[in-house]
Each structure stands twice: as structure tokens, then as C-alpha cells.
Structure 1
Amino acid sequence: MSTNTLPVTPPQTPQATATKRTLHRTSTARQGGFGSKLTVNGLLVLGSLYMVVPVLWLLFASTKNAADLYGTSSYSLGNFALFENIAAVAAQDGGLFFRWMANSVLYAGFGAVVGSLISVMAGYAFDKFRFRGKDSLFGFVLVGVLIPNTATVLPMYLLASLVGMTNTIWAILIPVLCNPFGVYLARVYATSYVPVETLEAARMDGAGPIRSFFSLGLPMMMPGYITIALFQFVGVWNNFMLPLVMLQDQQLLPVSVGISIWQGYAVPQPEFVPLVITGSLLSIIPLLLAFIMLQRFWKSGLTAGAVK
């Protein structure tokens, strides 16, 4: 006489049950729903199209003359007139466009190099030094991050008027030195990239705070410095309200305001439309070059972080 015995399943602990539920939810998210690869890839494609399509339109439109611009479809090629349009941009107002480009390079480059260095030094000080009121001061920095730049244009204009600084390059160069978001980002990088033990060792060797920063802190924070500089360069390059309010001399205007002036001319004079489009295309070239040239610093920063 045979007896069939059923396997006895041991009771599961609450921890095991919770683990199974977590694994089940993770596998479900991977298999379908909002977190599926198809959904994520679709959203990425839509986001890419949203950013790329206007640039493609700009590329196609800059190769057309005024007749083809209005007589052909947006993404079709007419008579290739890109070089003629560039020559017209260079000849307009005695080459004033390239003066605007040089001004933008000056304003954005100064803000990126000097302003970002100030931000890195401030973020480093907030992270590594102890002083009275540090948290309160950093709170003011965070408040500055939340205030839009356009809200501060009129107060800065009134202050610049009091000291007679309007319609000068200093009305642009001095404000771009202040970057609250750069200070916040620099403090984050200082926490991650600069160990306290390294600074203590430098202090034991006789290095002062300034020497420790420039010899150890700044090289370690170089990926953060490059990132802040790129953000600052793009922000100052695209800045519109501040130079529009501060500057009246067309010789001092950046390219963003200059193209806007041409756009106003294009309403009664359609022949200015190709100049506006071609000038807009030329104005994004320095931004592309900056990102391409500094890409290797980003990669080295990611590699250094992975090794740590």
C-alpha cells in the first residue's frame, strides 16, 4: 500500500513577500506600460524632432533667396543661394553683423571664463570653509536661482544709470559675472570631486587656502568649471533683455539684439528676411563649436568620476 505525500511549502517571511512584490513590479515595468522601451524611445524621438525640425528649417531656408523662400515649400531646395545670402549679410550696414558677432563673443566669453571662475571659487568656499552666516548666504544664492533674469533688468538699469554706465560694454560685462546657479552647481562639484583629506594634506605641507584652491581644488573641479562655463556662455549669448535695455549704440549690440532689429526691418522690407534667416544660422555656429571643442572635458570628467 503506497502513500502519496505532498511537498510542504515553508511559510514565507514578510521580507521575502516584499522582495517578490518588488521584483514583480520591476518586471512588469520592464515588460510594458509607461516604462517600456517603446514608450521611452517614442518620447525621445518626439523630443528630438521638436529640437531638430526648426534647425532643419533654418538650414533649408538659409539656402533660398527671397523669391524661393515664399514660392517653394519649407523643406525643399530652390536655387542654392547660401553664399549669396552670407555675402549680403556681410555687406549690410558695412559688415555690422560681424561686429555684433564679435560683441557676443566678448560678452559670452568673458562671462564664461571670468564669471564661471567666480562661481567655482564661491561654490568651493561654501563647501570647504566654515564662516558665520554661511547657510544664510547660500540661501540668498538659492533665491537668486529662482528669480528670472528679466525681473532684474530694470533694477540693474536704474543702478547703471546712477553711475553713468549705460550704453557701455561694462553694463553687460559686470552683470554676467553673477551666476547663482553656477555657484550652486560649483558647490555640488566641490562636494563630489574635492576630498577634504586632500586639502588637509596640502595644509599640512604648508599650502594656504588660495594655493590649495588653484593647485588642487580647481584642477579637480575642472569638469564642473567647463560645465558651468558652457551654461554661462549659452545664457549670455542668448541674453536679449539686458543688452536691449542697457545699450543704444548699434556698435555695442550683441547678435541677438541685432538680428531682432533686422527682423523689424523685414516687416516693411521683405528683402531683409533672407538676411535675418542667414544671420540666425551664422549666430548658432559659435555655440556648436564650443560644445564640440569642450566635449572631451566632459568625457574626462565622467571617466574620473567612474574611477573614484
Structure 2
Amino acid sequence: MTPTEPTARSTRRTRKHTRTRSPLLTVLVLLTLPYFLLPLFWLVVSSTKTNGELFSTFGLWFSRIHLWSNVVDVFTAQDGTFWTWSGNSLLYATVSAVGASALATAAGYAFAKYDFPGGKALFSVVLGSIMVPTTALAIPTYLVFAQVNLTDTRWAVILPSLVSPFGVYLMRVYAADTIDSQLLEAARVDGASEMRIFFSVALRLLVPGSITVLLFTLVATWNNYFLPLIMLRSNDLLPLTVGLAQWQTAASGQSGAQALFSRVITGSFLSVLPLMAAFLYLQKYWQSGLSSGGVKG
């Protein structure tokens, strides 16, 4: 085999993948793109306007830029409570996402690669729990936490968010397709313990799936509104979702210059920036892992 043959083969493979792209799907994506970007664009435009300009100017274009003054107003209102809400949301989302990803990865790996008594029944329970809406579990969860005096604490938001049935299902499917059982058997023959096999062999292959669960849980916890609403009473424990809803309620109850909708809109715009940053940062691990797992020699 000449040195140029692998290069030529790779070139033909690249051209083959290029030819399989569907122009129809590309057109459909371009047509649906404004549907998803228009609300974000409106949020960006509205966050640059004063409260009066929100109702007196065209909503989908800029007038005079007041973004900096709006941001200052958001962070200084009520003695800087927006900082507290942001820190709470960051804590809840980060701890819940990392914990849910770790638990889902371990559970999915166990369901996929171990045959133990009751395993199929337990996995059926996991599948069944996916069908139950999280809002239907909020009140029972509150009653349980009230019995152990955990309401109005940070644990009341973090502990329920650590459970991700969909994450377990996703990791079970991903582990079954990604990890070769012969690779695990070879590690056992070499004398590796099950814990070492999981952390040294399996976990490296499961990283793309784990990051997927992490992103899903991060978004779900960051945007969670109903659970913190019923669990928390103290203002210094509220996340951004509940805090901004309080500002919205206060603004709707006022009139004239006291109705500060610009503060609510600017706060909403600032609240989505951390999620965008997390996606942009984690997508390289996500996409590179998925692509490397999909290429076969």
C-alpha cells in the first residue's frame, strides 16, 4: 500500500459524506431557524430600550441603546438581589447537573452491562417514571420534604433534580451501543476490579452521553420554576426564574413609570447568557465524542 492510498481513501469518504447531505433538510432548517431565533432577537432588542420605549417603538428593531443603564438597574435593584438569585440558580443548576449526570451514567452502565436479579423490573420502573410529569410529583415531593424539615432549604431544589429517569434511559442505551462487552472481559482477565473498569475504561467512552445528560439537566434545573416556587419562601434562596416572576408580578400591578417591564426583560436576557455559554463550551466535548464514536476503521 502506497502512502497516498489512505489519504485518497479518506478523501473519498469525505466526499461520500458530503454527497449524502440533503438539500431539502437544509432548506427546512433554514426556514425554521427564524422561528427559534425571533424570540431571542426580540429579547435582545427589548433589553436595550427604556420602559416607555417598549410601548412606543417598533418591537423588532433598536431605537436608542439603553442596555448599560438597564443592566445597572437590574443589578442594583432591591440591594442587588439579582446577584443572589443568579448565584442560587448557578448553584442549583451546577450541582444538580453534575450529580444527575454522574448517577445516570453509573445507573445506565449497570443496567446495560450487568445482569442482576430485578434489573429488568427496575428498568421498567425507570421507563414508567419518564411518563409521569414532574409537576405531578411536586406536591408529593413537598409533603415528603416537609416531614423531614427540608423545605425552604437549598436541598429542597437540589435533591429532586438529581433524579433523571430520562438520563438513566439515555445512558443505558448509549452504554449498550458504545461499550464492547469483550473490552470489559479483557479488563477482567487482566485482573482489573469492577470499579477500576468503570472509571478507567467505561467512563471515558461514556463522556459524550454524560455531557448530554448534564446539558439536559442543566437547562431543566436552570429553567425550573414550579418546584422552587412551592419549596422556597426566603428571598435569599430563590432562583432567577421565581425572582423574575416576582418582578413581573410587581410590574404588572403598577402603572405608568412604576411599571418597570424593562427591568424584567433585561433580567431575562441576562439569565439566558450562562446557558448559552455552557452550550458553547461543552459542545466541543459533546460533538467530538459523538463523532469519534461514530467513525469506524
- 8 A contact 2:252–2:259 mirrored in 1: no
Q: Distance in 2 between matches of 1:306 and 1:127?
A: 19
**How far apart are the structure 2 equivalents of 1:296 and 1:37?**
25
Q: How many angstroms apart in 2 are the aligned matches of 1:232 and 1:299? A: 18
Aligned partners of 1:126, 1:76: CA distance in 2, in Å?
Answer: 52
Partner of 1:276: 264
Task: Confirm whether residue 124 of structure 1 aligns to residue 109 of structure 2.
Answer: yes
- Give the superposed CA RMSD: 1.3
5+ residue gaps, structure 2: 1-21
Structure 1 position 77 matched with structure 2 position 62? yes
Q: Which amino acid aligns with 2:56?
A: G
- Which letter does structure 2 place at the counterpart of 1:304? S
Residue 181 of structure 1 aligns to a residue whose secondary structure is helix
SS at match of 1:66: coil
Answer yes or no: is 1:107 the counterpart of 2:95. Answer: no
Letter in 2 for 1:258: G
What do the CA deviations read for 1:71-94 (whole angstroms, capped 9, x no partner)? 101012222100000000011011
Q: In structure 2, the residue corresponding to 1:77 is in which secondary structure?
A: coil
Query: Aligned partners of 1:71 and 1:264: how far apart in 2?
Result: 22
* Residues 196-235 of structure 1 aligned to structure 2 (within 5 Å): 196-235=181-220
Letter of the 1:190 counterpart: A
Give the corresponding residue for 1:291: 279
The amino acid of 2:147's aligned partner reads L
Rounded to whole Å, the distance in 2 between the matches of 1:58 and 1:199 is 50
- Where does residue 6 of structure 1 map in the other structure? none
Per the alignment, residue 19 of structure 2 pairs with none
The answer as to 2:246 corresponding to 1:258 is no
The one-letter code matched in structure 2 to 1:262 is: W
Is residue 42 of structure 2 the alignment partner of residue 54 of structure 1? no
After TM superposition, give the deviation of residue 42 of structure 1 in Å: 5.1
Shift of 1:211: 1.3
**Structure of greater Rg:** 1
Q: Of 53, 73, 76, which residue of structure 2 is paired with 1:68?
A: 53
- Amino acid corresponding to residue 240 of structure 1 in structure 2: Y
Equivalent residue runs for 1:189-200 within 5 Å: 189-200=174-185
Q: Using structure 1 for the length normalisation, give the TM-score.
A: 0.85
Whichever residue aligns with residue 71 of structure 1, its letter is: S
The match for 1:24 is: none
Deviations 1:101-122 (A, max 9, x none): 1111111101111111000000
Q: 1:130 to 1:108 in 2, by over 3 A?
A: same
Q: State the number of aligned residues.
A: 272
The CA deviation at 1:37 is: 4.6
Counterparts of 2:39 and 2:85, CA distance in 1 = 23
2:163 corresponding residue in structure 1: 178
Output the amino acid matched with 2:280. Answer: I
- Matches of 1:42 and 1:216 in 2, distance apart? 41
